[in-house]
Amino acid sequence: MSHVQEIRDRAEQGAKMTPDDFDLDGIGEVHDKRRPLMGGGSTFGKVVHGIDAALDAGYPVNLRVVLDKENLRTLPEMTVFAKEKGWTRDPNFKTQLGRNYELHTCQKNSSILYDRVEMYRELYDLIKQHPEVLDFHRPAFSLSRFLFDNGELPEPLFDSCSGCKTCQVACKDKHGLEKGLLWRRVYEVSGGDWLPMGDAWLGNVFAYNISIACNHCRQPICQENCSAGAIYKRDDGIVLIDEDKCIGCGHCSLTCPYDAPQYDEKAEKMTKCTFCYDYIDQGKPPACVAACPMRALEFGEITEIEAKYGPVTPVYPLPETALTKPALVITPHKDALRALTQPAKIDNRED
């Protein structure tokens, strides 16, 4: 039974009107090139027919468009097509735009893929040139909504870190890290207590998250204590490990107060955050920064960051900064200062 007939049968039977998901990545050949039938042939017409049938039957339609550098600029043509079909006037019609991570073809040509921020910037620039695209898609996600409304990305706020660990996952994915290796950690900190008040107990607890990796210190103690001379600093301040020189002795890990260097049992080498120097050299942000949905991470020249946010602020559980002078600035969570004067602990050390 075809999808169209299934929709009609559900409508006749009075089935619950749950949204139908359709994938359409462009008009005509643009879509068919990306999503052909198994044995070849067009799928564009079939998808359009299905959307028409669903809307005619009164069913909600969620049209998903997978974007990359090959098809994002075709959104104005999609807008014209959708308006001519009458889809954009139907209250049951909505769209969902996302980065290309599902099509097999993207594995063959990763150069066409966007990171999250890059896609929103391109989309924003496109809509400035073609405001009619807003009739087809109006962003709902907070980051893109802010960008559309204000013309710039929001200022990062450490207070906004939700502890989702997207930065941590992005790091592992980008660098292909083995199980147990975490170049970036997200600590969950809690503290405070319950206080008696008459016959009741008053909660005086607090909690916050902190995302931390190698801080590429201005005085890297790991480099000073590397017996093999494998750790070096680039001219831009990024601290790296030369795998050819590393003997895996672990001295760097023992001396680093941030526990940044980690031993890779498979490679028998020490490893750590590279600040995604390959991305930096291309003018792109590190994977963790690009992936953070809350915009809680920022990167740049440390002097510019310090001028913007002020000097380093002590935050539990990080050590005193005098030892290594980390290239790090933190705008503390509103409860972080309480952890300096009240009992506090890390709840997820196993992570």
| Residue-wise pLDDT tens digits, 119-157 | 877 887 888 889 888 889 876 544 555 565 666 655 554
With residue 46 as reference, give the H or E element that holds it.
helix 44-56
Model-wide pTM > 0.85: no
Q: How far is C-alpha 223 from the chain's CA centre?
A: 30
Per residue in 167-208, pLDDT (tens digit) is: 999 999 999 999 889 999 999 999 988 777 677 777 778 899
CA distance 192 to 274: 36
What are the backbone dihedrals phi and psi of residue 271, each rounded to the nearest 5 degrees, phi first? -135, 165
pLDDT band per the 50, 70, 90 thresholds, residue 331? confident
pLDDT tens, residue by residue, 37-80: 877 778 899 899 989 988 888 888 889 898 889 999 999 999 99
Report residue 104's pLDDT band, with 50, 70 and 90 as the boundaries. very low
Q: Which pLDDT score, from 0 to 100, does residue 159 have? A: 47
The alpha carbon of residue 181 and the mean position of all alpha carbons in its chain are separated, in whole angstroms, by: 19
CB-CB contact of 296 with 211 (8 Å): yes
Q: Output the six-digit token pair for 315.
A: 């935050």
Task: Give the residue, 99 or 318, on which the prediction is more confident.
Answer: 318
Sheet holding 344-346, edge to edge: 200-212, 185-197, 344-346
CA angle 16, 35, 102 (to 5 degrees): 75
The pLDDT assigned to 16 comes to 47
Q: What ranges do the domains of the chain cover?
A: 3-150, 155-351
Query: CA-to-CA distance for 260 and 150, rounded, in angstroms?
Result: 37
Parallel/antiparallel/unpaired status of strands 262-264 and 269-271: antiparallel
pLDDT for the residue 194: 78
Does the pLDDT at position 273 exceed 50?
yes
- pLDDT confidence band for 109 (50 / 70 / 90): low
What's the pLDDT at 315? Answer: 86
What digits encode the pLDDT tens for the residues 218-242?
999 999 999 999 999 999 999 999 9
On average, the pLDDT of the chain sits at: 83
Higher pLDDT, 258 or 34: 258
- What is the CATH number that goes with domain 3-150? 3.20.20.70
**Domain 155-351, CATH class in plain words:** alpha beta
Helices (H) and strands (E) in the chain, counts: 12, 10
| Residue carrying the six token digits 């949905």 | 293
Across the range 3-12, mean pLDDT stands at 53
Burial of 216 (0-12, 13-18, 19+ CB in 10 A): buried
Are 211 and 184 in contact by the 8 Å Cβ rule? The answer is: yes
